[in-house]
Amino acid sequence: QKEVEQNSGPLSVPEGAIASLNCTYSDRGSQSFFWYRQYSGKSPELIMFIYSNGDKEDGRFTAQLNKASQYVSLLIRDSQPSDSATYLCAFPPRGGTSYGKLTFGQGTILTVHP
């Protein structure tokens, strides 16, 4: 079983729609999660992190975490063509090990078409 899996893409949504990106993880002890956005040919940039069950909102982005079901999702409201990118979920190791190690999913390519 993979440590983290993301919903298969690519995902295509019309401009103005809600884009939903999902990620499941296998380690029940994982405490916090990150969503990175990576434009083609660029490096990943952190857009959201969440560590509590429930929702966390930041502008048009909402991260949702459900530890019982072991999934984390990212909703993008009012999607814009500039949101077209690969979205990566990631989580750090549990305490006592290298916090510099992030485990990433394979990424979901999102395309927002006008």
Partner 1 sequence: DAGVTQSPTHLIKTRGQHVTLRCSPISGHKSVSWYQQVLGQGPQFIFQYYEKEERGRGNFPDRFSARQFPNYSSELNVNALLLGDSALYLCASSSRWDSSYEQYFGPGTRLTVT
Residues at the interface with partner 1 (CB under 8 A)? 32, 34, 42-46, 49, 88, 90, 92, 97-107
End-to-end Cα, the chain, rounded Å: 38
The residue (of 100 and 114) whose beta carbon lies closer to partner 1 is 100
- The answer to whether the CB of 22 falls within 8 A of the CB of 109 is no
The residue (of 41 and 114) whose beta carbon lies closer to partner 1 is 41
The residue (of 19 and 35) whose beta carbon lies closer to partner 1 is 35
The residue (of 4 and 76) whose beta carbon lies closer to partner 1 is 4
Length of the chain (residues): 114
Cβ 104 to partner 1, closest distance in Å? 3
Within 8 A by CB and 6+ apart from 41, the residues are none
Cβ 46 to partner 1, closest distance in Å? 7
Q: Rounded CA gap, 108 and 27, in Å?
A: 21
Cβ 38 to partner 1, closest distance in Å? 9
Cα-to-chain-centroid distance, residue 88: 5
